[in-house]
Amino acid sequence: MIQVGVNGYGTIGKRVADAVAAQPDMELVGVAKTRPNHEAETAVANGYDLYAAIPERRELFAEAGIEVAGPVEDLVAGSDIVVDACPSGIGAENKPLYEEHDTPALYQGGEDAGLVDASFNARSNFAEVEGADHVRVVSCNTTGLSRLLAPLQEEYDVEKARVTLVRRGGDPAQTGRGPINDTLPDPVTLPSHHGPDVNTIFPELSIDTLGMKVPATLMHTHSVNVQLEDVPTADEVRELLADESRLFLIPPEHDIDGAGKLKEFAMDRDRPRGDIWENAVWEKSISIEDDDLYLFQAIHQESDVVPENVDAVRAVLGETDAETSIQRTNDAIGLGF
Ligand code: NAD
């Protein structure tokens, strides 16, 4: 059994911890937190060993009546690999801790690509990270784009991708984020960081991205235009994408017009936290005009990277091939509608 530690138990970390605990070939050693808040209490209620990320704050957990298994160093020492799901920039501060214990680490998309040996997306470059010590699971948006572009590139050769990312202002629990009454070009200059980030996975791919931020919390929406060298029909693209386990083609008869109904659908299907691990591609939007493919997809920022972290564990440790790992992860968490 692969022993996995999760350092940082917030939006991403708690989901990754649950997904790791569900895998037949992994054991969750525990999770580390800085504060004894509701998430710390839930971790303990779930039966997870809780480690104190900051030794001086250990007292606070005792005062809150939350049992701590030890300092974060013990978690790192006892794990075959650590998933660092701390806020952007804190992963970089934690790197020496992982190096000290010779424990490979997975970081999240908020960290700089320069921090790590390789960036990762299971569908696109699984085999490239075997044996690496520091790997970054790319952000929610880059994950969503990589999953889509990988089959298009393999099947039709991408001449140029152009994507406008309409991004949620903050996650539902991020009460301090905005905008609350505006639609912002963000950044106003080109490119947004997403295109260069996709190039950490596909170095040769030609892609331009523009970003916007809007008063929404549920999901991101991508308006995608991909110019293809070998031009297929829209039906052929639909068939190709339908075969991808982490792409969910929204059937027209579902009458899902946006992120609100998508989340409702996920909750009706008893998805934990209403999570949507798949890219949600509107089937009806898939169109070919001349040699350009157009479509819309929605990305659930809080959860699409979760199965990718699970696969990155196996990829780094050289446990299986991509296909086996992706299938195992999907089966264990119930991915696929
Ligand atoms: P978050 O703030 O929800 O969670 C981070 C957790 O880490 C919090 O519980 C915080 O208390 C804890 N923490 C802070 N300092 C710590 C330390 N020194 N040691 C251990 N724990 C510490 O953040 P998040 O949204 O889960 O983001 C985590 C990473 O994932 C970031 O790199 C982010 O860019 C990336 N990411 C976030 C999203 C998203 O939409 N939320 C999507 C994809 C990737």
Instruction: Kindly report, residue by residue over 291-303, the tens digit of the pLDDT.
Output: 999 999 999 999 9
pLDDT of residue 56: 87
Q: What would the pLDDT profile of 224-239 be if each residue is shown by its tens digit?
A: 999 999 999 999 999 9
Q: Can you list the domains of the chain with their CATH numbers?
A: 2-137+305-333 (3.40.50.720), 140-299 (3.30.360.10)
Whether 4 and 28 have beta carbons less than 8 Å apart is answered as yes
Query: What is the position in ligand 1's atom list of the atom closest to the CA of 174?
Result: 3
What lies within 8 Å, CB to CB, of 59 at 6+ separation is none
pLDDT for position 68: 96
- Extract the annotated binding site for D-glyceraldehyde 3-phosphate: 139-141, 194-195
CA 197/CA 222 separation, integer angstroms? 15
pLDDT at 55: 85
DSSP 272: G
Active site residue 140: yes
- Comparing C-alpha atoms, which of 35, 120, 48 is closest to residue 86? 35
Specify the DSSP element, H or E, that contains 115.
none
Q: Is 307 in the pocket of ligand 1 (CB under 6 A)?
A: no
Which of these is catalytic: 140, 299, 326, 332? 140
Ligand 1, atom nearest to 35 Cα: 11
Q: What is the DSSP letter of 190?
A: S
Distance CA 296, CA 164 (A): 10
Q: Which of 6, 9, 12 to mutate to test the pocket of ligand 1 (most atoms within 8 A of CB)?
A: 12
User: pLDDT below 70 — which residues of the chain?
Assistant: none
> How far does the centroid of ligand 1 lie from the alpha carbon of residue 34, in Å?
11
pTM for this structure? 0.98
